[in-house]
A = this chain, B = another copy of it.
């Protein structure tokens, strides 16, 4: 198993480093295409192309050119599947900077739900593997391209991009970076872009949230959930219903959720109706499937349902065709005449499909950063992992154990941590076996369910046949 192919979380970082050095010393660029792989097509994504000194002036000729000695670690999705499909690799060669672009030395990266979907091949905005995922990060500007006037080397920035940010060095359009306000940590900066812009545009552009209104926030302890709750609180007397498991209720209540609902033990529709019989003004729906129908039926006149994901499609770490098909099949479809009679609105939002709308995004970001400066919003960090631990980080999100944002730090792991990690790895292998078994069991159950359904259908058909025969018999009698 080479260093490049080993899953990040199962790889001893020290060994890896050695292997990387060997690679750099022995392989020519042509022999190690992966280390120079270009995750996304320019210009909308982080370009990691090795500089070939065409557009940029050639450096002084005496010493070895920096383009050759420049290396950086990057997470790469090598194919669709489980957590082990995201691997830590070393990329070689200094990325070239085009006009309008900046190079950022990354400190912290953000994890988003779309990254989980992408790993299973369920998110079409991530280019095909091998590719570096990652839609938000924070860091320091290390170089600026031509025609970049409002960014300079040394600026602390938060970055929003379609993909490609889970690595130590990224090259992005300067318009995709935003200056960090005074006092903001790199953790907060990496936690902010995707979650707060998503929540902001949904609540204020599509939702047109106003005082005295009511909002339902699913996954209220998740990154978008916490951002949405905080943004609701910037408007007077907004009632927030938030679903989360009971253990998270105290935290989300402190964060601003008026009525936390444990969706695992309660029917949230009933709980909402008890408190707000007329229904809700806004429903934010990241779940899809049958939950979209429920949300729609909870709307008041002039109410808005905003669908922004299909988290119900995720069941287990690998693509579960049964869950995908079920969510797809139950996915909500609405007729304008129904909307007219209910005076309702149904909206769809996903920041990933909005990446060319720089003006819209920068307007939203300006407001969000102002709210941060005023102390009205503050990203909540759930946990920070090393790049090597990306599998653990994704698992934590997928199993909905987080309260707030999960981050990946580009800081290399310390020796003692690595040893700890090695021990955990053994346990993980066992866990993996268990999980595989579990998934197999799930699949078996799904198959059984299908068979049951088939049997039911057959029984129905047989009943029908019997009825038909009876009918015929009657007719003959007459």
Q: Which residues of A contact B (CB under 8 A)?
A: 201, 204-206, 208, 288, 292, 301-302, 304, 307-310, 331-350, 353-354, 356-357, 360
Contact = CB atoms under 8 A, between A and B. Distances in A.
Nearest to A305: B336
B348 A337 contact: yes
B333 A348 contact: no
Contact of A336 (B205, B307, B339, B343): B307
B334 A334 contact: yes
- Count the copies: 2
Those 10 A-B pairs whose CB atoms lie nearest each other, nearest first:
A339-B348, A340-B348, A345-B347, A307-B336, A333-B335, A332-B336, A340-B350, A208-B208, A301-B357, A343-B354
Contacts of A308: 340
Contacts of A347: 304, 339, 344-346
A340 B356 CA distance: 15
Q: Which of A205, A310, A345 has the most CB of B within 10 A?
A: A345
Nearest to A339: B348
Given A336-B346, A339-B347, A341-B350, 9 more contacts: A204-B208, A206-B302, A288-B337, A302-B354, A304-B345, A333-B333, A333-B336, A342-B348, A345-B348
Contact of A360 (B204, B302, B331, B348): B302
Contacts of A208: 204-206, 208
Contacts of A354: 301-302, 343
Contacts of A342: 348, 353
B353 A348 contact: no
Contacts of A340: 307-309, 348-350, 353
A331 B335 contact: yes
Nearest to A327: B337
B348 A288 contact: no
Contacts of A288: 336-337
A205 B213 CA distance: 13
Given A301-B357, A360-B301, A360-B302, A343 B333 contact: no
A343 B348 contact: yes
A353 B302 CA distance: 10
A206 B341 CA distance: 15
A336 B357 contact: no
Nearest to A306: B345
A341 B353 contact: yes
Contacts of A345: 206, 304, 345-348
B343 A346 contact: no
A68 B21 CA distance: 105
A343 B353 CA distance: 7
Nearest to A206: B345
Given A208-B205, A301-B360, A307-B339, A346 B346 contact: yes
Contacts of A343: 348-350, 353-354
A336 B292 contact: yes
A335 B330 CA distance: 10
Contact of A302 (B201, B292, B335, B336): B201
Contact of A337 (B304, B331, B341, B356): B331
A205 to B, nearest CB: 6
Contacts of A301: 353-354, 356-357, 360
Contacts of A341: 348, 350, 353
A205 B303 CA distance: 10
A307 B337 CA distance: 8
B310 A337 contact: yes
A458 to B, nearest CB: 31
19 contacts: A206-B208, A206-B304, A288-B337, A292-B336, A301-B353, A302-B354, A302-B360, A304-B345, A307-B336, A309-B340, A310-B337, A334-B346, A336-B346, A337-B348, A342-B348, A343-B349, A343-B350, A343-B354, A345-B348
A205 B345 CA distance: 10
A337 to B, nearest CB: 6
A332 B301 CA distance: 20
A205 B348 contact: no
A360 B303 CA distance: 12
